Amino acid sequence: MSDSDLSRRGFLQHSLAAVGPMVAATTLPIPDVHSNAAQAPLSVVCVGGHPDDPESGCGGTLARYAAAGHVVRIVYLTRGERGIEGKSLEDAAHIRTLEAEAACVVLGATPVFFGQVDGATEVTKPHIANMTKLLGDAKPDIVFLHWPVDTHMDHQAASLIGLRACMALRTPSVFFFEVNAGSQTNLFRPDTYVDISSVVEKKKAALLAHTSQDGAAIWRAHHEPMANWRGRESGALAAEGFVRLPRAEAADRLPGA
């Protein structure tokens, strides 16, 4: 075996080949607008419960779409008002809004704040109507949502409100993402992967922008191991996993394929 065969990537690929595929999965394509004049920019939207959730769940994927010339928006259902011990809701919201904006600069995304309150989110017809209008104006080709089987109520609310809006619009391809797998996101079995090896440092930097949440510790404890494991599953150095929502209305292919 040559030295190159002993590289980490080679080891992972040989290991996966030896044990067989762990899951039946596809790879979400990231078409590059810069190198293909015929490729129109896609509209990509992620809906998360709090600042740092989209960064945790699919920050690498969002960074790759943005770097490839696509329009990326992150919708934060709340401003994380209850996320800083000892701070008032208003002060915490201000701090975490600035952190989210800084993280979006790293990822190349535009932040949008939906206006619900951390720990008091509601799934109501008016909220669904507002999300439907927001997404309708964005005309998304792809929407990323929290996995609905999650331990956090705000994550569930963000998922359901986003899902109801996508069902009303009928056109976007919908993918669910995971956060803190095993402790918050349960029963998650990815069927789609994105190789984030080239942008893993961007994802890390976006998380570190959330200093009030100790983003460095969250990265080490949760998201670095998750990226490595999903990478092993998909044959990459680092990856993010998703569950795709099958939709009869959507074309029978992934966006950009």
- Strand, helix or coil for residue 210: coil
* pLDDT tens column, 100-148: 999 999 999 999 999 999 999 999 999 999 999 999 999 999 999 999 9
Q: In angstroms, how far is the first alpha carbon of the chain from the final one? A: 35
- Strand, helix or coil for residue 242: strand
Classify residue 228: in a domain, yes or no. Answer: yes
Classify residue 250: in a domain, yes or no. Answer: no
Distance from the Cα of residue 44 to its chain's centroid = 11
pLDDT, residue 246, reads 87
Helices of type H across 69-223 = 89-107, 125-138, 153-169, 200-208, 215-218
Classify residue 177: in a domain, yes or no. Answer: yes
Classify residue 1: in a domain, yes or no. Answer: no
Cα pseudo-dihedral 189, 13, 66, 112, rounded to 10 = 20
Least confident of 18-22, 34-38, 174-178: 18-22
Tell me what the pLDDT averaged over the chain comes to.
88
Classify residue 10: in a domain, yes or no. Answer: no
Least confident of 21-30, 62-71, 159-168: 21-30
Question: Are 76 and 112 within 8 A, CB to CB?
Answer: yes
CATH of the domain at 79: 3.40.50.10320
Classify residue 205: in a domain, yes or no. Answer: yes
Cα–Cα nearest to 148, from 158, 139, 140:
158
Question: Are 176 and 243 within 8 A, CB to CB?
Answer: yes
Classify residue 253: in a domain, yes or no. Answer: no
**Total number of domains constituting the chain:** 1
Tokens coding 149: 């089987």
Distance CA 168, CA 115 (A): 21
Classify residue 15: in a domain, yes or no. Answer: no
Angle at 206 between CA 201 and CA 209, to 5 degrees: 125
For residue 35, give every residue at least 6 positions away whose Cβ sits within 8 Å of its Cβ, in sequence order, or none.
none
pLDDT at 24 over 80: no
Q: Which domain holds residue 163?
A: 42-245
